[in-house]
Amino acid sequence: MTIFLIIEVFAILTLYILSRGKYKTILESAEAKKYSLIVIMPIALYILECFKYRYAGKYDKRIFKSLINLHGRKNAENHRRLYYGNKLALMIGALVVLTFLGAASGNADINYLAFTLLAPVIVFYIYDMDLDSKTKRRYESIRADFPDMVSKLVLLVNAGMTINRAWEKICAETQKQSPLYQELRTTYIQIQGGKSEGEAYEEFARRCGVREITKFVALIIQNLKKGSDDTVPLLRLQAEECWELRKMRAKQLGEEASAKLLIPMMIMFVGILIIVVLPAVLQLNSL
């Protein structure tokens, strides 16, 4: 393990010297603050550059889509490079740390060596699982907040406001920093900046990536183009549907929580059973 450690340290120092200062712009950007291993990330970015990684496979497209959902399309390219760089840096870090521990212990066997080599693969999958978990939580948060937001919009439009004015009022009066309300504020800022309402609402639906919001935006755009009198009743109907979906989702989450509690309950039952039965068994054996 000592030989492996020396080779790894030499390779990392060489790559650090070659990559030092090359990625200063991206590593000092606002996006980089969301990643942990900025110190050794230049090494990872340099390795990706040397291999001319093109981010063109199905896996890369799936990751890119998740990053767009989390950070927006504008900064997605930077986030993709930083995401891959941080992941590769974590893999390198796991390999070096385990190699160092094996060398320090002095008794690492073939099984430990196999685990050390497998560790970067484990880090690779765990890192992607964390991204999937963040994306899922974002979708769940948007779905949970959407019924309340639609209800507010329907009340304001029904009171005589235009959709744009109602949207502005919701953004101004709601201090919640959830993904949905952040996207609402982004859309309003785009409209204030000169983008047409139709384009801004369509981008809002794409960023959220939720079927209910796509349907909601289609109704709004139809109202903008044709001025239909049925818009408010249709929006009210959709709000009711969204509340029903939210109730069903809450029920589903409750059932999932109950299923997850089943294993701890079984463990507790086995523990209690052992506490009750073991003394009796020991007493019988002593007779």
The string of DSSP letters for 143-176 reads HHHHHHHHHHHHHHHHTT--HHHHHHHHHHH---
- pLDDT score, position 40: 85
Among 37-41, 67-71, 99-103, 262-266, whose mean pLDDT is lowest? 262-266
Give per-residue pLDDT as tens, 116-137.
889 999 999 999 999 999 988 8
Question: Within 10 A of 12 (CB to CB), how many other CB atoms are there?
Answer: 16
Give per-residue pLDDT as tens, 91-110.
999 998 888 888 888 766 78
pTM for the full predicted model = 0.77
Give per-residue pLDDT as tens, 125-181.
999 999 999 988 898 888 888 888 888 888 888 888 888 888 889 888 888 888 888
pLDDT at 287 over 60: no
User: Which among 154, 125, 287 is positioned nearest to 220, based on CA atoms?
Assistant: 154
Tokens 């005589």 identify what position?
160
- Please report which helix (H) or strand (E) contains residue 5, including its range: helix 2-19
> Is residue 81 within 8 Å of residue 45, measured between CB atoms?
yes
What percentage of the chain carries pLDDT values higher than 70? 91
- pLDDT score, position 121: 92
User: Which among 70, 80, 77, 83 is positioned nearest to 209, based on CA atoms?
Assistant: 70
- pLDDT score, position 114: 86
- pLDDT score, position 226: 73
- pLDDT score, position 130: 92
pLDDT grade for 88, boundaries at 50, 70 and 90: very high
Among 166-175, 205-214, 271-280, whose mean pLDDT is lowest? 271-280
CA 204, distance to chain mean position in Å, is 18
- pLDDT score, position 259: 66
- pLDDT score, position 253: 65
Buried b (16+ CB within 10 A) or exposed e, 162-194: ebbebbbebbeebeeeebbbebbbbbbebbeee
pLDDT at 244 over 90: no
- Using CA of residue 216, residue 222, residue 227, residue 228, what is the dihedral sign? negative
Within 8 A by CB and 6+ apart from 85, the residues are: 35, 41, 44, 45, 48
Total length of the chain:
287
Give the ranges where 72-109 is alpha helix by DSSP (H). Answer: 76-105
